Amino acid sequence: MAKKNILVIEDNHAILDVITLILESEAFNVAGLNKGADFISHVHDFNPDVIIMDIMLPDTDGRLLLKEIKATSTTQHIPVLMISARYNATNYSLDDVTADDFMAKPFNIDDLMDKIYALLKKGIN
């Protein structure tokens, strides 16, 4: 089975490093970003099987990036797991565009992995 690609966009460097380390230890290919500036080009270049995205980024609202991903035919199939310390599951959407799943920070790594594997099993990709 080919390695799955996971794109992580998280502005907190420590959290990004921990998520990357855990995912790589689970044999995923991981690309990490800490701001949204080049996010869409990374999505097209990296071709992720799952995207883990913080809502609050230093240069944009992650929900706007989610809306762009879900509105584009070549990327709308990619499952997106939104993470945030300031939001909850009832407000992680924008204009009826909703992520495939949500986690509040701080989160348990085992729960994160369960959500990633569940998104991969959905067969969206």
Domain containing residue 47: 5-121
- Give how many domains the chain has, as a whole number: 1
Looking up residue 59, the CATH number of its domain turns out to be 3.40.50.2300
Dump pLDDT digits (tens) for 15-41: 999 999 999 999 999 999 999 888 989
> From the CA atom positions of the chain, what is the Rg in Å?
13
Confidence of residue 85 (pLDDT cuts 50, 70, 90): confident
Contacts of 106 by beta carbon, 8 Å cutoff, 6+ apart: 85
**C-alpha 68, offset from chain centre:** 13
* Among 80, 33, 78, CA closest to 60: 33
* Among 28, 32, 26, CA closest to 12: 32
More confident residue, 86 or 96: 86
